[in-house]
Structure 1
Amino acid sequence: MKKVGIIGGIGPESTVDYYQSIIAKVQERVGSKEVLPELFINSINMYKLFQLLTNGQIKELIDYLADAVQELKNAGADFVVMSGNTPHIVFGEVQQKVQIPMISIVEETLLNVKMGGLQKIGLIGTKFTMENDFFKIPFAAENRKIIVPNEAEQKFIHKKIVEELENGLVNKETKEQFLEIIEQMVKRDGVHGIILGCTELPMLLQKEDLAMPVFNTTEIHVEKIVTTILAE
């Protein structure tokens, strides 16, 4: 089996989810609880990442992530993933700086949306994910349109992600408010599906909560990771 290197800590809750999900899915696919994939986790500082983005220090962010990837390569990883959507803002730049394959959460999500045949998709996540175009550009190239919430809704979503979900807090009222925002996006913008573009969002929202296709980026990413681990 190939060894995956995971850049974690972005945030801590989703890092745990990645670790547990990868193990569970590998065991499910091989049909044995006695099989454990060997992997490496390099936990970095999510708040430093946010600060670099806020300050527009993109070169420093690229270097910070590339150094983290290189450490995983040096440890013996065969490929690397970042357990968060936000750092994929500079995925291409980081991949260019390192000599190890990386799997993009955006590219894998796009493949799933294409299989679903959807043209207009809502995206929620951190303010950095919603404000930037790293989802919008590849989707537009495939004639798919990404729709994000309005400015006030974005501010609210980001606040709840950082203050609650990143700290492992799941609030029923927050869930109801998120569902209301998504409902408004359906009515106002005509979205046909929703991308949970933050790897902590599945703590709050599940597919059965919405009467529309829901794309759990964590789940999508993990499926590709497991396929790569088990590839001959």
Structure 2
Amino acid sequence: MIHAYDEAYLGIARTSLGRAFDYAAHCENMDLSQFCRLFLSTGIASKFERGDVRTIAGQSGVELARSVLASTIGDGAVMARYTASRSPEYWAGWALAHYQWSKALPFATVLEGVPITSIVSMYPAYHEMDLEHFVARMDELMGANTPASRLKKYRTSAGLSQSQLAALSGVPVRSIQQYEQGQKRVNRASFETVLRLAQAVGAPDPRALLDV
């Protein structure tokens, strides 16, 4: 499986985002949904998800949070303090960083499918479990909450798995996964690629696979 960036940075990335979430919630008394919107809109999330070393490892979690909040809090200094143990907000950031890394999806896609409030609410049940249980649950929620792409609808109607579609069309299974998850748009694929996918799933016209 292709991950978002080198696994060597994963531990640092999880801790950094966990500390950033904890700081925003407990030092700035900020609603975590609002913080996530700023995280996305400032472009810092995009750098983080690509594994930009300066973003995920070149600063502390507090510094990451303050970079996100710079447009709203300016240069006002707030003393960093943490909860005595891992807070639900810390765990949510920590677990979210892991899920984004494991699936190589944009944070915007993940948080659109599973809002941060839902991730925080998973803390009591999942914080002591192996992370793969959390990943599996997130996959379930993403599948239930993310609108199915047209490609996925045609593929499932044809009774094909992603691997079977890849074998029939000659399109790599990873590309099919990215098209269906919204990480890549079918609309931007070459005509030849869309044609081969359409023929494999029995679509009446290649344009039927294009997402509006």
Q: TM-score range by the shorter chain?
A: under 0.3
Rg larger in structure:
2
What is the TM-score with the length of structure 2 in the denominator?
0.26
The answer to which structure, 1 or 2, has the higher relative contact order (CA under 8 A, 6+ apart) is: 1
Which structure's residues are more often strand, by fraction? Answer: 1
